[in-house]
């Protein structure tokens, strides 16, 4: 999204270039590990090598303690370690927006955010918008307005709209266009996506801004 480009494209830690980060992420296969799957002594031994670290991620209101490599992007940890596969992997270079999540209420590309950067932050994925067994207002609006075709970009589009409406509950059409401009739809379903954003704004107001 144009207005929040800095929020969605965070810089990496000092000494790590964007090219180096992307190269390290794609180099070779990695094995995701959740701490509940391995003995404590073994986890401590792995950490002692310096190749892994233990972090606490606050995801959809729950704190999850996981063992990660410092180079792993947040999208990888969400999907492969925590099993939250609603967040999609697209371009893996911060251009398509399929991996958009909210961090402290603002849309971010999770492929461009290291998992270790997200520790201590409030992370919301598309699964976190559910209200029990019911769809949240933005999710429901996408269904009502048929705002998807292949559906691959839809979770990222939904999170972009959710972030927009949290910052601006009653956006204009131009503001909606700007708000989702960082999310690409290869099917070209932009018109119903814009309509869904407007419908979601209405649904949220009916629920008292929830």
Domain limit, last residue, from 100, 127, 154: 127
Q: Do 155 and 96 share a structural domain?
A: no
The H-or-E segment that residue 164 falls in is helix 154-167
Question: What 3-state DSSP class applies to 5?
Answer: helix
pLDDT at 40: 53
pLDDT at 75: 98
Look up the CATH number of the domain holding residue 81: 3.10.20.30
pLDDT at 34: 53
Total structural domains within the chain:
2
Q: Do 156 and 77 share a structural domain?
A: no
Domain limit, last residue, from 105, 127, 149: 127
pTM score? 0.77
Q: Do 113 and 59 share a structural domain?
A: yes
pLDDT at 150: 96
**pLDDT tens over the chain, length 210 residues:** 444 444 443 333 344 443 443 343 333 333 444 555 555 555 555 555 668 999 999 999 999 999 999 999 999 999 999 999 999 999 999 999 999 999 999 999 999 999 999 999 999 999 999 999 999 999 999 999 999 999 999 999 999 999 999 999 999 999 999 999 999 999 999 999 999 999 999 999 988 754
Q: Do 83 and 13 share a structural domain?
A: yes
Tell me the CA distances in angstroms from 18 to 71, 103, 115, 204, one per residue in order. 12, 20, 15, 38
pLDDT at 207: 82
Q: Do 121 and 47 share a structural domain?
A: yes
Domain assignment of residue 114, given as a range: 2-127
> In sequence order, which ranges of 18-149 are alpha helices (DSSP H)?
18-26, 40-48, 74-76, 137-144
Return the number of other C-beta atoms located less than 10 Å from residue 20's C-beta. Answer: 12
Q: Do 150 and 59 share a structural domain?
A: no
Query: Which of 61, 59, 62, 209 has its CA nearest to residue 137?
Result: 209
Q: Do 27 and 110 share a structural domain?
A: yes
pLDDT at 69: 94
Chain-centroid distance of CA 111 in Å reads: 8
Look up the CATH number of the domain holding residue 145: 1.10.150.120
Q: Do 71 and 8 share a structural domain?
A: yes
């Amino acid at each position: 999204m144009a207005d929040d480009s800095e929020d969605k494209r965070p810089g990496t830690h000092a000494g790590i270039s964007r090219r180096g980060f992307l190269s390290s992420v794609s180099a070779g296969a990695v094995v995701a590990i959740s701490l509940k799957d391995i003995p404590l002594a073994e986890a401590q031994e792995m950490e002692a090598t310096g190749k892994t670290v233990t972090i606490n991620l606050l995801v959809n209101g729950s704190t999850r303690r996981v063992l990660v490599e410092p180079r792993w992007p947040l999208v990888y940890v969400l999907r492969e370690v925590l099993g939250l596969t609603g967040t999609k992997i697209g371009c893996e270079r911060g251009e398509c927006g399929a991996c958009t999540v909210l961090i402290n209420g603002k849309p971010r590309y999770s492929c461009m955010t290291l998992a270790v950067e997200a520790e201590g932050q409030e992370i919301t994925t598309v699964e976190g918008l559910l209200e029990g067994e019911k769809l949240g207002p933005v999710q429901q609006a996408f269904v009502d307005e048929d705002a998807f075709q292949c559906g691959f970009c839809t979770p990222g589009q939904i999170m972009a709209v959710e972030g927009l409406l949290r910052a601006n509950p009653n956006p204009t059409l131009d503001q909606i266009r700007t708000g989702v401009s960082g999310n690409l739809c290869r099917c070209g379903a932009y018109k119903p996506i814009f309509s869904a954003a407007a419908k979601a704004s209405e649904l949220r107001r009916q629920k008292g801004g929830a």
